[in-house]
Homo-oligomer: A and B are copies of this chain.
Amino acid sequence: MASAVANSEEVFTPRQQQVLTAALDLLVEQGDRLTMTSVARRASCSKETLYKWFGDRDGLLTATVQWQAAKVKAPQVDRWRLDSASLRQSIEQFARDLLGTIVGDVSVTLNRLAIGHAGAEKHGLGAIVLENGPLAIRKRLKPVLEAGREARLLRFDSSEEAYRSFFGLVVRDAQIRLLLGETFTPAEAEIARDAARATEQFLAIYAVHPAA
């Protein structure tokens, strides 16, 4: 029986990573329609090797998603001194990271893929994406929020709830619109502006002294 979610830290040889890169590229280019043949051709390897390494098509896709998701180890915000300004800066940085990731091609592609699989009763990919997307950011943001509360800068009952509102203020309807096929690619400046706005709104709700 395969475990529901393979959380083990799979490690791939350079050659295997070339294959996964090819798969990811094809995924971004043509979505779930990529064929094993096309991956083999793009990666200049044989289908036999694909099956030997990854078991079957789903294994290849899972490996691709895991491998890519593992790369999104965004830089831990370093030591924040607990004044109002640095707290705001930390939060805004998170907002920029989150929004920038979510509007990216790779994120849209992988989320589409995982959603498609979830619709086919195969929740493995969905769990992986969930774990490495929203939940990962939440885990990293949580200590910042709680330190802010500790320092009487923020006020909330549950950091979970606070995080979810933060997520909503940052992402809004951008992700669902992109997933549904709308094509817009905000420039770096727009992302920064949106992140700043979201941060401001978040603080308006959760800061003890919003004006500070």
Closest Cβ of chain B to A172, distance in Å, is 4
Q: Is the CB of B176 within 8 A of A165?
A: no
Q: Given A164-B172, A181-B127, is A116 in contact with B116 using a C-beta cutoff of 8 Å?
A: yes
CB of A177 closer than 8 Å to a CB of B: yes
Residues of B within 8 A of A60 (CB): none
Rounded to whole angstroms, the CA-CA distance of A121 and B119 in the bound complex is 19
Q: Per-position contact with B for A153-186: 1 when CB-CB < 8 Å, else 0?
A: 0000000000011011111110111011110000
Rounded to whole angstroms, the CA-CA distance of A176 and B107 in the bound complex is 12
CB of A115 closer than 8 Å to a CB of B: yes
Rounded to whole angstroms, the CA-CA distance of A30 and B113 in the bound complex is 17
Residues of B within 8 A of A121 (CB): 30-31
CB of A101 closer than 8 Å to a CB of B: no
What is the chain B residue whose CB lies nearest that of A108? B119
Q: Is the CB of B32 within 8 A of A129?
A: no
Q: Give the number of residues in A that approach B within 8 Å (Cβ atoms).
A: 41
Q: Chain A interface mostly helix, strand, loop or mixed?
A: helix
Rounded to whole angstroms, the CA-CA distance of A45 and B57 in the bound complex is 35
Q: Given A126-B181, A180-B126, is A31 in contact with B165 using a C-beta cutoff of 8 Å?
A: no
Rounded to whole angstroms, the CA-CA distance of A181 and B172 in the bound complex is 20
CB of A142 closer than 8 Å to a CB of B: no
CB of A204 closer than 8 Å to a CB of B: yes
CB of A77 closer than 8 Å to a CB of B: no
CB of A91 closer than 8 Å to a CB of B: no
Residues of B within 8 A of A109 (CB): 119
Beyond the given pairs A126-B182, A204-B205, 12 more chain A to chain B contacts, judged by CB atoms under 8 angstroms and listed by A's residue number, are A30-B121, A31-B120, A111-B180, A112-B115, A115-B179, A115-B180, A117-B181, A126-B179, A126-B180, A127-B181, A134-B176, A169-B169
**Chain A residues within 8 Å of B, Cβ to Cβ:** 30-33, 109, 111-121, 123, 126-127, 129-130, 134, 164-165, 167-173, 175-177, 179-182, 201, 204-205
